[in-house]
Amino acid sequence: MNYDVIIVGAGLSGSTAARVLAEKGKKVLVVEKHRHVAGHCHDYRNEYGITVHTYGPHIFHTNDAAAWKFASRFTDFHFFQHRVLSYADGQLIPFPINADTINQVFGISIGVDEVEGFLASQVAHSSFNSPPKNFRDAVVSQIGKRLYSTFFEEYTRKQWGRDPELLSPEVAKRIPVRTNRDGRYFSDHYQGIPARGYTAMIDSMLDHPNISLMLGTDWFDIREDLDAKTTIFTGELDRFFDYKFGKLEYRSLDLVLKTLDQESYQNVAVVNYPNDYDWTRITEYKKFLDEKSPWTTVCFEYPKQEGEPFYVVMTDDNMAKRDKYMQEVEKLEASGSWLFIGRLAEYKYYNMDQVISATLQKVARL
């Protein structure tokens, strides 16, 4: 069969692109190396009636009405407001940092109108480079050394396997700090979890007569046998170019699942462990969809160097390599025959809504 478009990867970016193009009348083949769709937002229902996120917790949140509307075409959402606690100094503390966090850490009682001034005083009594040269500088310049030490310093060492001063200040741009008492992790207008799971959402997205799906197949093994006017690549950027500028670094995770004979394990779906133990966080999955079961399944996350690529590592060396690869990408995309979309293909951090938005914009070129 002849195809108009080959898409490498059946994750969120590849599946979004496939659906949009299929609805435009294009014949699309999606090639996926895993034996499942949905990429890293893949999930499944286990024998205890609990929906488990295969690659760690995913919460859909956005202020982009177009991204929410697109996703909502393929699933109903269970409205979920994500709240996180952080186990530090022997106590569970609301996170991200807000007025309640500050009061609990410092043993004080300030109002929301005093938070900004308090943080400014913490910053004034801390040392850092300005403008920030690294992750530590970027965080301390916002909240001061005490809160940085409590919540970020050791967590960052565990998560990234290196000193925070070796990480780009760009990494700290995603850290939310609030001057009010809003204890939600995200403050976006739209928030939720697909009611039947992410895998079902992607299955629905790919359910179109113009879309063919090839699972358990590595595109690199068959690419010489495929012919299409356009190829959309969502895989690893450096592998595509045969590592000509060197390997890009990805941080992976060892996800350890435990199912316990008890209804509840912790107060919220996610608890961070910045300073104690080897894991970075524990997720209790049933709390996402408010699932009822006498059992509960929890996931311990242990960061590691090698394995499934989860996170791009924003060091100067990696970003310099990325720039060289992206120059090659620009040349290919200018030909009109290629598009590179998503976390891996752009070596860039995306939230799920950003993946959808970026894909819709890029595919519009076709």
CA distance linking residue 224 with residue 204, whole number of Å: 30
In sequence order, the 6+-apart residues with CB closer than 8 A to the CB of 112 are: 99, 179, 180, 181
Report the amino acid identity of residue 58: H
Amino acid, single-letter form, for residue 362:
K
CA angle 126, 127, 130 (to 5 degrees): 120
238-258 residue pLDDT tens: 999 999 999 999 999 999 999
Read off the pLDDT of each residue in 313-321 and give the average, rounded to a whole number.
92
pLDDT of residue 362: 95
CA distance 121 to 117: 6
Name the fold adopted by 5-81+190-249+311-363.
Answer: Rossmann fold (3.40.50)
* Predicted confidence (pLDDT) per residue in 296-312, tens digit: 999 999 999 999 999 99
Label residue 174 by pLDDT band (50, 70, 90).
low
CATH 3.40.50.720 region(s) of the chain?
5-81+190-249+311-363
Give the tens place of pLDDT for each residue, 125-157.
999 999 999 999 999 999 999 999 999 999 999
Tokens of 178: 């609030």
Give yes or no for residue 1 having a pLDDT over 80: no
Question: Given pLDDT bands bounded at 50, 70 and 90, which one contains residue 24?
Answer: very high
Mean pLDDT (the chain, rounded): 96
Q: Which of 255, 281, 32 is nearest to 158 (CA)?
A: 281
State both tokens at 299: 């996931």
pLDDT at residue 175 greater than cutoff 80: no
- State the average pLDDT over residues 33-54: 98
User: What pLDDT is stored for residue 171 in this prediction?
Assistant: 82
Is the C-alpha dihedral spanning 340, 252, 314, 199 positive or negative?
positive
pLDDT of residue 277: 97
- Are 350 and 358 spatial neighbours (Cβ–Cβ below 8 Å)? yes
The pLDDT assigned to 366 comes to 79
Q: Is the pLDDT of residue 260 over 90?
A: yes
Task: Give the integer Cα–Cα distance in Å for 80 and 264.
Answer: 17
- Confidence grade of residue 176 (pLDDT, cut at 50, 70, 90): confident
Lowest mean pLDDT among 13-17, 159-163, 235-239, 326-330: 159-163
